[in-house]
Chain A
Amino acid sequence: MLTSREIIETLGTKFGKQILKAEEKVSNQVFVTIVPDALMPVVCFLNQALSARFLINAATDRREQDGRYTVSYIFSFDREKIFLCIQVAVDSTDPNIGSITPIIAGANWSERETRDLVGINLRGHPDPRRLVLADDWPQEIYPLRKDFPYDYKPPSEPQNKVPLKKPPKGTKVIPIGPFYPVLEEPAYFKLFVDGETIVDCDYRGFYSHRGIEKMGDSKLTYNQICFIAERICGICGFIHSTCYCEAVERAAGIEVPLRAHYIRTIMLELERIHSHLLWLGIAVHIIGFDTLLMQSWRIREPVMWLCEKISGNRKTYGMNLIGGVRRDIPSSIYDEIVRVVERIERQTKEVIDAVMDDTSLHVRLKDVGVLTKEVARDICTVGPTARGSNIRIDSRVDHPYAAYDRIDFEVAVESGCDIWARTLVRLKETIESVKIVKQCLLEMPDGPIMGEVMEEIPAGREAICCVEAPRGEAIHYVLTGQDNRPYRWRVRAPTYANLQCVPHIIKGERIADVPIIVGSLDPCYSCTERMAVVDVRTGIEKICTKEEVIKR
């Protein structure tokens, strides 16, 4: 078990003068500044010798402060409960940096995003195509630079369309998308098939950018961002707002009352219950088992009503603010909460008992979409996708937030590596969440629900927060700034990490299994694509008017 001090010392003795600065800015969060040339060896050392797990990187335009860009690579030491942030300053006249994707495959998207949005060129990236920006976005215009106005609409340049991969010899192309029919979300998969078998695939997504990060650092204030963060995802909204709030609170050193922590924990777990039941319904709907869809959604509905009663809305709770929560859970409804979650536990167990021996489910789910432990590690997958492949990571335990450091629960891990294993992980977690909610209600202390917030949050502080969403861990990095708003706010949703493993897990499978394999990751495209700025319509696409639709 390394401590923060030992990590700093280890890096110091190994790399000596290449480490420019190292400090523990927030408890258990180490920020290390290194010279650009040392990036490769440091990342190699962290990944191989210290087995740190890569989370995201975030580029910040800091030309106003010191005339340079900063790229932060965030790593996690899971057992040690420590975040390590490696920062590199990049010269602004010719911004370029060596790519770490050859060492860590999971850094692929994150690095391309840095290039697309802040304009830091990558040396040695294996797949340097455009990822985040729209097909007709002009070259050399980078939306997350500070000199780019948030409402600027650049002229369309359709010639910049991203070339998709050429199909391998002897294969046919089958497109799925751009509107993915099964999950009712925009994503485009181009499958290369040989007969029925998938040989390879290419993905083009990021159709639903909404420029949330740009809004956050140019227009909104700290407390307004809580609400837009909640709208990053339609299912795990509260997770994002909690994650953002905790990141700001950690950066600014704001004490949050214990009761507020407990209330956040309860809401997070209620959200996990309804998300997992929703996923179960959709997953079995994909394979045509609608009976279970109806039943799992029926079981889910009372949670939504309960949340509506607690927060005033069934999905967007709007309860988080910097420093605490806005609504208390009155003791008069404790009993009702217990009753509802216990009924859900009972009914979920009944359903599990009924479908466990259903051979038609086994045929569709067992040994399909196999994600081996090695690939899962390499791609840096998170959440149930990783836990189904026998990787014991759960940020509720690894990086405790809210009141999770006071709560006992088990992390569900399965070693099957297939869709069935991921299903079992989610079902076990649903039952575990019920326990957590009940334990919270028992232990929740009385007291204030909103902490004291200082008049102004000081600029230049930074912190990371990691919250375990039903799909995996959501990560928010916040660098505080002037004018009551963050200077940089970087969001990574769990699907961002998980979706990158799709080419690996559909290789060798049959076409008919693709929907359920992709569905087994519980993908959430709007989460993943929270970013960029303008609309994504290319010049080629035609938009139908209402009248035209009616005429058809």
Chain B
Amino acid sequence: MFISKLKQALICLKAGRVTLPYPYKPTAPPEGFRGRPKIDIDKCIGCAGCANVCPSRAIEVTDFDEGWRRIQFHLTRCISCGRCEEVCPEEAVRLTDQFELSTNTKEDLTVAIEIYMDTCQRCARCFKPQHPLDKMMVTGFRK
């Protein structure tokens, strides 16, 4: 019993202090960390593939005002699985290494982008114009 307690004390002494001073000192996550997703409005073509595969339905796609498409990332629902990053054909979604997302206002955790799309003459659904220059021709491009 006594030897056993001595051995235990030795293990504790050998380990020493192991706690990290977080949050007083920031810690950097390792490479390849799955943090909050970030969307690049210049690359996004509004295909909504990310919204389709999202397991937690964190990505909402709405069409409004004939030709405008709004893509909202509700980070409160996001589980950082990275499926959106995986399926994005234009590499517009990237997972960052940010993980400190606590906030007092819930709205801070919604990221929305609005992009101009063309409307299909036959089915009236939105699609991205063929040429990137085309969208420059639209007045009010990128509100």
A interface residues with partner B (beta carbon < 8 Å): 220, 223-228, 231, 291-292, 294-295, 298, 301, 305, 308-309, 311-313, 316, 318, 326-327, 350-351, 353-360
Contacts and interface: CB of A to CB of B under 8 A. Distances in A.
Nearest to A353: B7
Contacts of A353: 7
Interface in B39-62: 53-56
Nearest to B99: A313
Contact of A357 (B1, B12, B30, B80): B1
B67 interface: no
B79 A355 contact: no
Nearest to B95: A312
Given A223-B53, A224-B55, A298-B18, A354 B33 contact: no
A298 B86 CA distance: 34
Nearest to A231: B79
A312 B33 contact: yes
B4 interface: yes
A351 B7 CA distance: 8
A412 B82 CA distance: 38
B94 interface: no
Given A309-B30, A316-B79, A227 B4 contact: no
Nearest to A360: B1
B30 A358 contact: no
A227 B56 contact: yes
Nearest to A301: B18
A292 B8 contact: yes
B81 A318 contact: yes
Nearest to B79: A227
B34 A220 contact: no
Contacts of B10: 354
Contacts of B34: 311-313, 318
A550 to B, nearest CB: 15
Given A301-B18, A312-B80, A312-B95, 13 more contacts: A225-B55, A292-B8, A295-B8, A298-B15, A309-B32, A311-B34, A312-B33, A313-B80, A318-B80, A318-B81, A326-B82, A327-B32, A358-B8
A434 to B, nearest CB: 18
Contacts, number: 76
Contacts of B82: 312, 318, 326
Nearest to B54: A224
Contact of B55 (A228, A298, A357): A228
9 contacts: A223-B53, A224-B53, A301-B18, A308-B30, A311-B34, A312-B32, A357-B1, A357-B4, A358-B5
Most chain B CB atoms below 10 A, which of A298, A312, A318, A358: A312
Contact of A358 (B4, B29, B86): B4
Given A295-B15, A359-B1, A313 B33 contact: yes
Contacts of A351: 11
Nearest to B5: A358
Contacts of B124: none
A311 B10 CA distance: 34
Contacts of A313: 33-34, 80
A358 B30 CA distance: 39
B138 interface: no
Nearest to B32: A312
B137 interface: no
Nearest to A229: B55
A63 B121 CA distance: 43
A348 B124 CA distance: 65
Contacts of A309: 30-32
A290 to B, nearest CB: 11
Contacts of A360: 1
Given A227-B79, A313-B80, A318-B81, A326 B86 contact: yes
A356 B12 CA distance: 16
Most chain B CB atoms below 10 A, which of A223, A225, A357, A360: A357
A360 B2 CA distance: 11
Contact of B29 (A225, A292, A308): A308
A510 to B, nearest CB: 23
Contacts of B1: 357-360
A132 B14 CA distance: 48
Contacts of A295: 8, 11-12, 15
A291 B13 CA distance: 11
Contacts of B32: 309, 312, 327
Contacts of B54: 224
B123 interface: no
A186 B1 CA distance: 37
Contacts of B4: 354-359
Contacts of A358: 1, 4-5, 8
Contacts of A226: 55
B81 A227 contact: yes
Contact of B12 (A225, A291, A359): A291
A228 B54 CA distance: 11
A264 B8 CA distance: 35
Contacts of B15: 295, 298
Nearest to B81: A318
Nearest to A318: B81
A126 B132 CA distance: 71
B56 to A, nearest CB: 7
A235 to B, nearest CB: 17
Contacts of A305: 30
Contacts of A228: 55
Nearest to B15: A298
